[in-house]
Amino acid sequence: MLPHWLFYVDHGGPGNRVWLAWDPNFVDVTVVETGAQFIHCSVFIRSFHASVFITVVYGVNDVIGRRELWMELARISTVVTDSPWLVGGDFNTVLDSSEVCGLSGDIRGAGRVSGLSAGYWAYTRAYARRAIYLA
């Protein structure tokens, strides 16, 4: 399928939620930390001779679990200081009820419960300390 690519899967997490794949001809990837909902890595982009931190996220489906994710991201933000940091993936949450498709009461209430508020609070605190780009 991708014959020369390298892969990283967090086998320690439940369900192997987050996977990384990259072409080593273009980038060097060093996994810095793994969590139940993320893989945080340092990526050296060969063509630019530059490094960037990338955190790939796959958030859990419950509000309390997502709150833990945001706290982890806030903690990582205090360590990532010398390079750009890209955070992206599926956070399994919505900012507005217009984004909801389906009948899940848990998702529909996400904008009103403290999980999103706690996440947004942690994000804004991290953002105040340095630029964070969400993809």
What phi and psi, each to the nearest 5 degrees, are found at residue 124? -65, -35
Q: Which residue has the higher pLDDT, 124 or 84?
A: 84
Structure confidence by residue, pLDDT tens digits, 79-119: 998 889 999 998 887 766 777 776 555 554 444 434 445 45
DSSP letter at 86 equals: E
Most confident of 1-5, 40-44, 80-84, 124-128: 40-44
Burial 1-40 (b: 16+ CB within 10 A, else e): eeeeeeebebeebeeebbebebeeeebebeeeebbbbbbb
Q: Supply the pLDDT for residue 15.
A: 65
Structure confidence by residue, pLDDT tens digits, 5-43: 999 987 666 666 788 999 999 999 999 999 989 999 999
